[in-house]
DNA sequence: ATGACTCCCAGTGGGAGA
C-alpha cells in the first residue's frame, strides 16, 4: 500500500499538477491540505475521472483538506470530535482496513500569539482523539502538514530558526507526545539524505538554495511500523512552474 | 530590512502563510 500527503496551496491553482502527479504516482491514497475551496467548488469529478474516490472538507479562502483513495474510504470523520473548530483541518477515513488521518495543523504564526494558543489547544485535542482512535484501529497513519520541524536536523538554519514558529520547544514537545502514543516518524525509519525538507519558502530562491524545513510528516502506528518499506519526499513537483511551496511525502508498506 | 513570493478576496491594497 502506498500513501502520500501533499499541501497543494490552493487546489484551484494546483489541480492540473495534482492530476499529473497522480498519473505518475498511482498511490492507493492521498491526503491534501490547503485546498482553499468551499465544498461546492471542490473538483471531485476530475479526481473521480482519474480513478479515485474522494472525500473533502473545506471552507472559503483558507485551510481545507481532502482524502483521495482507490477504494472508497469508510467511516469518514471531519475535524476533531469534541473540538469546537471553525477551521477545516482534519479528514479521516478507513481505507483497506487502515485508519488514515489527514491533518493540516495550525501554523501558529508566532509564539505567544492567539494563533499559537489555538495551535496548542488543537494539538491537545488531536492527541486525545488519536489515543481513542488507536484503541479501535491498530493500523493507523497520521499524515499531513504538521507545521512542526521536530528536530534541528529538520531545519536548514537551526540557529536562525531557534525558538521561532515551527521550532519552539512547545511544538516539538507536542510532536514527541504524538510519538508517545506509539506513532513513528516513517521518514526517520530509514537512512535519508542530509538537508531533506518538505517545504521551501517562495522567497529568496529558497528552493534553488535548498533552504527549507521538514514539516510534512507521516506517523505510523506500532502495527504498521514493521511493514513500512520506504518513506520519501518527492521534490519533483516543487520544480514545476507555479509550484506549491510544499512537496509530497510518500510512504509505502506491505 | 517591518522585505523578498504566492494565494485569496478584494478592488487600485492587505492578510496569511511558514
Q: Strand B contacts (CB < 7 A) among A residues 194-213?
A: 199, 201-204, 213
Q: pLDDT for A163-195, tens place per residue?
A: 999 999 999 999 999 999 999 999 999 999 999
Q: What pLDDT, on the 0 to 100 scale, is given for residue A237? A: 97
3-state SS record for chain A: CEEEEEECCCHHHHHHHHHHHHHHCCCCEEEEECCCCCHHHCCHHHHHHCCCEEEEECCCCCCCEEEEECCCCEEEEECCCCCCCCCCCEEEEEECCEEEEEEECCCCCCCCCHHHHHHHHHHHHHHHHHHHHHHHCCCEEEEEECCCCCCHHHECCHHHHCCCCCCCHHHHHHHHHHHHCCEEEHHHHCCCCCCCCCEECCCCCCCCCCCEECCEEEEEECCCHHHEEEEEECCHHHHCCCCCCECCEEEEEC
Q: What pLDDT, on the 0 to 100 scale, is given for residue A33? A: 98
Please tell me the distance from the alpha carbon of residue A150 to that of residue A180, in angstroms, as a whole number.
Answer: 14
Q: What pLDDT, on the 0 to 100 scale, is given for residue A101? A: 98
Strand B footprint nucleotides (protein C-beta < 7 Å): 4-9, 16-18
A 10 A CB-CB count for A77 gives 18
> Looking only at Cα atoms, what is the longest distance across chain A?
47
Q: Within 7 Å: CB of A59 and strand B?
A: no
Contacts of residue A160, Cβ cutoff 8 Å, sequence gap at least 6? none
Share of chain A above pLDDT 70, in %: 100
Mean pLDDT of the A131-135 span: 98
User: Whole-number mean pLDDT of chain A?
Assistant: 97
Q: In the structure, what pLDDT confidence band is assigned to residue A154 with cuts at 50, 70 and 90? A: very high
Q: In the structure, what pLDDT confidence band is assigned to residue A233 with cuts at 50, 70 and 90? A: very high
CA A38 to C1' B9, in angstroms, rounded, equals 14
The nt closest to A145 (CA vs C1′) is B18
Nearest to A91 by CA among A74, A79, A81: A79
Q: Strand B contacts (CB < 7 A) among A residues 15-44?
A: 34, 36
- Residue carrying C-alpha cell 511500523: A225
Q: Within 7 Å: CB of A136 and strand B?
A: no
Q: What pLDDT, on the 0 to 100 scale, is given for residue A20? A: 97
> How far out from the chain centre does Cα A110 lie?
20
Q: What pLDDT, on the 0 to 100 scale, is given for residue A185? A: 98
CA A157 to C1' B3, in angstroms, rounded, equals 19
Q: What pLDDT, on the 0 to 100 scale, is given for residue A123? A: 98
Q: Within 7 Å: CB of A10 and strand B?
A: yes
Please tell me the distance from the alpha carbon of residue A149 to that of residue A217, in angstroms, as a whole number.
Answer: 9
Instruction: Show the cell assigned to A165.
Output: 514558529
Q: Strand B contacts (CB < 7 A) among A residues 79-108?
A: 106-107
Q: What pLDDT, on the 0 to 100 scale, is given for residue A80? A: 98
Q: pLDDT for A92-105, tens place per residue?
A: 999 999 999 999 99
The nt closest to A243 (CA vs C1′) is B6
CA A152 to C1' B17, in angstroms, rounded, equals 21
CA A14 to C1' B4, in angstroms, rounded, equals 23
Q: Which residue is nearest to nucleotide B4 (CA to C1')?
A: A203
Q: In the structure, what pLDDT confidence band is assigned to residue A1 with cuts at 50, 70 and 90? A: very high
Catalytic positions of A, written as ranges? 104, 145
Amino acid at each position: 500500500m502506498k500513501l502520500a500527503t501533499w499541501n497543494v496551496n490552493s487546489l484551484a491553482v494546483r489541480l492540473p499538477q495534482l492530476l499529473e502527479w497522480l498519473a505518475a504516482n498511482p498511490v492507493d491514497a492521498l491526503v491534501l491540505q490547503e485546498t482553499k475551496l468551499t465544498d461546492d467548488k471542490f473538483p471531485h469529478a476530475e479526481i473521480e475521472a482519474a480513478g479515485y474516490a474522494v472525500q473533502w472538507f473545506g471552507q472559503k479562502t483558507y485551510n481545507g483538506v481532502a482524502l483521495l483513495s482507490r477504494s472508497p474510504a469508510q467511516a469518514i470523520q471531519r475535524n476533531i470530535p469534541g473540538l469546537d473548530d471553525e477551521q477545516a483541518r482534519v479528514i479521516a477515513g478507513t481505507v483497506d482496513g487502515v485508519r488514515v488521518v489527514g491533518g493540516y495543523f495550525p501554523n501558529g504564526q508566532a509564539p505567544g500569539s492567539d494563533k499559537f494558543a489555538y495551535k496548542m489547544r488543537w494539538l491537545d485535542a488531536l492527541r486525545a482523539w488519536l489515543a481513542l482512535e488507536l484503541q479501535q484501529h491498530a493500523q493507523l497513519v497520521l499524515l499531513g502538514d504538521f507545521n512542526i520541524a521536530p528536530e534541528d536536523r529538520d531545519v536548514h538554519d537551526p540557529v536562525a530558526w531557534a525558538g521561532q514558529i515551527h521550532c519552539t520547544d512547545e511544538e516539538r514537545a507536542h510532536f514527541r507526545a504524538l510519538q508517545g502514543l506509539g506513532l513513528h516518524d516513517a521518514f526517520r525509519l530509514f537512512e535519508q539524505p542530509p538537508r531533506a525538507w518538505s517545504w521551501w519558502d517562495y522567497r529568496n530562491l529558497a528552493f534553488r538554495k535548498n533552504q527549507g524545513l521538514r514539516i510534512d510528516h507521516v506517523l505510523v502506528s506500532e502495527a504498521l511500523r514493521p511493514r513500512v518499506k520506504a518513506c520519501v519526499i518527492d521534490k519533483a513537483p516543487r520544480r514545476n512552474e507555479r509550484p506549491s511551496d510544499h512537496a509530497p511525502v510518500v510512504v509505502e508498506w506491505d
